[in-house]
Amino acid sequence: MRVSLWRHDVLLRAAPSAARERHDRRSRLYLRVEHDGVDGYGEVAPQPHALNGDPGVDEVLDEVLERVVPQVTDALAREGDLPSWTRLARFAGSRPASNPAVALFEMALLERELRGNGRRITTLWPAMFETPLQRGVSLLDDAPIEVGDDVVRLRVKTGPGALGATGLAQLSRVRSAIILDFNCSARVDADVLDQVRALAGVCTVAVVEQPYAVGNVVDTARLAAQLDVAMSVDEGVRSLRDVTQLVRYGAATVLCVKPARVGGLATARTLITTARTMGLAPYLGGFFESPYARAVHRHLAATTTPEPSDVADVDLDGPGLVEVEACHEAFGVRPSAAVLEAATLVAVIS
């Protein structure tokens, strides 16, 4: 087995501000696994620094190199072959960086298995839905709010306090339904209730998302009972136990499931399908991944959820770079030679 790991730092053209972070740059990690003449690529895009329970990029790099690669190497030595991608979720530990590190390796093993068998992902995950597009903007900066005709729902980042006249004017021109995303920043119920009231008649607020800190199910449930719109949880969805707790307390009816956060594609698929059987409305979120991982996520969304999801490609600032190239097997695209040449090769392990 030969493992290669790259880091590609990019600037985002649309850089929405969240309550405690500005999303203006991302480090996309690419991992290639080669064995017996067949290779596969994985990708995750961690945040620059740890925030709201999510690890920073350096933590994820350490987890990949110090824990996940040795685990896979041990499995190969013990069993004589690489573990199936379906088993990688079991390699995750309790550390915050463990889930995205496992997700990175899992995607690479899935692509390798599909390529080795000459199969497309659609044979494994047949499309069941035409998942509509959702995009994110922010009320916390002066950037104009632009919504394409293909966008069904807008995820609007906000925080406590009165909304400015500029933001209100921009939202009044939005025809899409809105998720009002607080990113764990609310201090008291009034922070949310006052803002929802202020937007009545201005735009269509369909959902309030993650008002309180990760794990604060009780306060979230109390607030949900006071709202006439749906409650969503994002940072607080990391496992099936989280989903069952939210249902038990009546804390949310909408869920944002991010594959890197929950430990990979297999776990994300399980969480979404299970949540739907429980009467919830899960959608697929992301971390500003490249067109490669976004293509994989579109396949996952198409086989699991009809909810608008964050599966559109992300525009980059700076010189144009072709990030993917077409292929016949697996996901239909692969990371391009150009993007890997532009990235920094972090490690090669044989």
Give the CATH number of the domain where residue 182 resides: 3.20.20.120
**Are residue 188 and residue 103 in the same domain, yes or no?**
no
**Are residue 260 and residue 147 in the same domain, yes or no?**
yes
Residue ranges of alpha helices (H) inside the chain are 57-63, 69-79, 98-116, 121-124, 165-172, 189-199, 217-224, 240-249, 259-262, 265-277, 291-304, 337-342
Say whether 167 sits in a helix, a strand or coil.
helix
Q: What is the pLDDT of residue 19?
A: 67
Q: What is the pLDDT of residue 267?
A: 97
Please name the residues in contact with 52: beta carbons below 8 A apart, sequence gap of 6 or more: 20, 183, 184, 213, 214, 235
| Whole-Å CA distances, 216 to 51, 231, 243, 244, 252 | 16, 13, 13, 14, 12
| In-domain check, residue 75 | yes
**Are residue 179 and residue 111 in the same domain, yes or no?**
no
| In-domain check, residue 262 | yes
Total domains present in the chain:
2
**Are residue 299 and residue 170 in the same domain, yes or no?**
yes
Task: Give me the CATH number covering residue 28.
Answer: 3.30.390.10
Angle 159-276-128 from CA coordinates, rounded to 5°: 110
Distance CA 311, CA 305 (A): 12
**Are residue 152 and residue 223 in the same domain, yes or no?**
yes
Q: What is the pLDDT of residue 259?
A: 98
| In-domain check, residue 192 | yes
**Are residue 175 and residue 31 in the same domain, yes or no?**
no
Say whether 297 sits in a helix, a strand or coil.
helix
| In-domain check, residue 310 | no
| In-domain check, residue 105 | yes
Handedness of CA 156, 11, 13, 283 (dihedral sign): negative
**Are residue 287 and residue 270 in the same domain, yes or no?**
yes
Q: What is the pLDDT of residue 17?
A: 75
Q: What is the pLDDT along the chain (350 residues), one digit of tens a residue?
A: 999 999 999 998 876 777 667 778 899 999 999 999 999 999 999 999 999 999 999 999 999 999 999 999 999 999 999 999 999 999 999 999 999 999 999 999 999 999 999 999 999 999 999 999 999 888 887 677 777 778 899 999 999 998 888 888 888 988 899 999 999 999 999 999 999 999 998 999 999 999 999 999 999 999 999 999 999 999 999 999 999 999 999 999 999 999 999 999 999 999 999 999 999 999 999 999 999 999 999 999 999 999 999 999 998 987 789 999 999 999 999 999 999 999 999 999 99
Q: What is the pLDDT of residue 140?
A: 83
| Whole-Å CA distances, 174 to 147, 154, 178, 308 | 7, 9, 9, 16
**Are residue 104 and residue 10 in the same domain, yes or no?**
yes
Q: What is the pLDDT of residue 14?
A: 73
- DSSP character at residue 236: T
**Are residue 195 and residue 99 in the same domain, yes or no?**
no
Q: Which domain holds residue 294?
A: 124-304
**Are residue 208 and residue 114 in the same domain, yes or no?**
no
Phi, psi of 323 (to 5 degrees): -90, -20
Distance CA 7, CA 28 (A): 6
Q: What is the pLDDT of residue 312?
A: 92
Q: What is the pLDDT of residue 329?
A: 94
| Tokens linked to 333 | 């695209």
| In-domain check, residue 309 | no
| In-domain check, residue 79 | yes
Q: Read off the pTM.
A: 0.95
Distance CA 206, CA 228 (A): 9
Contact of 32 with 40, CB cutoff 8 Å: yes
Angle 294-111-338 from CA coordinates, rounded to 5°: 60
| In-domain check, residue 142 | yes
**Are residue 169 and residue 276 in the same domain, yes or no?**
yes
**Are residue 109 and residue 67 in the same domain, yes or no?**
yes
| Whole-Å CA distances, 287 to 87, 108, 183 | 23, 18, 14
